[in-house]
Amino acid sequence: MTSEEFSNSAIPARTRRQAMDWSLVLLSQGIESVIEKTETGWTLQVEPQDRSRALATLRQYHIENRAWAWRQPLPWPTVAFHWSAIVWCLLLALFHWLNTASGAHLQQVGLMDPMAVHNGAWWRLFTAVWLHFDLTHLMANLVVGFAVFGLAMGRYGPACAWLAGFLAGAAGNVAGLLFHQGTYHGLGASGMVMGGLGLLTIQSLSIRFKNPRSGRYITSGILAGVLLFTLLGLNPGSDVIAHLGGFLCGLILGAAMATVPQPKLLGWPANVVCGAVSAGLLALTWTLALRHLPLP
């Protein structure tokens, strides 16, 4: 190929990545090309008789992809697995062991009993989160909750996610109090686990404040979380109302937390405050519950 033919058949590209993209576009239309590096940049070499058709193809490709705004790194919040979720699992196991060792006396004073709550035992909304009917019930919550809270703690900070999940678990019991009919007793951390899932479902909302065209990614994340909730939380044999209440509360708290810059959520000041509130709430509710233990 002469220098004049080379010049007439070369299509300049700004970068190697663009040249590779264009090469695939041309190949899809049956136009072969060769990517070459020159002194002035990157080019695609096509046969001289194909150059006009190649340029028309690339022009149409540019028109069809003009509105595609996400040709840049997605400013997604950092999500990592936080191993503090093990502490949450150990605490659930400890309460189950204490309840078994006491002859289910903890369950007697801590389970979600609507009549007792109406009579002033509000702390049961919180204490019921830490109790389980049996080992199977406990293990089901531990397996799912370990993964959910490991990710939620990595996204929002360990203590911040713990407190939000704890409040979501209590909200699930509030939903059961309001919407269950007839005799109803609730136990278990499933509402708290669903609250953690709600936190993860809505966490992509934070990219709204970085790019106004991120709606499709936020919507995709929310739909994925809802599908997971449908899979994990709508088992007819479980407390669906408590699950839904915890999930919705997690969504609300997660939406509020998504407005806070992630470095602040992961920083020690926020986690010290949330950790102190969580520990205080746990200690207060169980202190009130243990006052009602039956005398030996």
- Model confidence over 26-46: pLDDT tens digits? 988 888 888 888 877 888 888
Contact by Cβ (8 Å): 192, 243: no
Closest CA to 258 of 75, 82, 71: 75
pTM: 0.75
Quickly state the pLDDT bin for 206 (edges 50, 70, 90): confident
Q: Mean pLDDT over residues 71-88, rounded?
A: 78
Structural element, H or E, at residue 10: strand 10-13
Rounded to an integer, what distance in angstroms lies between the CA atom of residue 204 and that of residue 91?
29
Picking from 171, 165, 146, 118, the residue whose alpha carbon sits closest to that of residue 277 is: 165
State CA 182 to chain mean position distance: 34
Domain 85-290 class, CATH top level: mainly alpha
263 burial via Cβ count (<10 Å: 0-12, 13-18, 19+): exposed
d(CA 236, CA 135) in angstroms, rounded, equals 20
What CATH number does the domain located at 3-64 have? 3.30.70.1530
pLDDT reading at 183 higher than 90: no
Q: What are the structural domain ranges in the chain?
A: 3-64, 85-290
Mean pLDDT (the chain) is 88
- Residue 78: phi and psi, rounded to 5, are -65, 130
Q: What is the mean pLDDT of residues 66-81?
A: 63
Query: Is the pLDDT score of 71 beyond 80?
Result: no
- The residues, ordered by sequence, that sit 6+ positions from 101 with a Cβ below 8 Å of its Cβ are none
- The residue behind tokens 């911040």 is 160
CB 99 within 8 A of CB 106: yes
pLDDT given at position 292: 84
* Tens-digit pLDDT profile for residues 116-159: 999 999 999 999 999 999 999 999 999 999 999 999 999 999 99
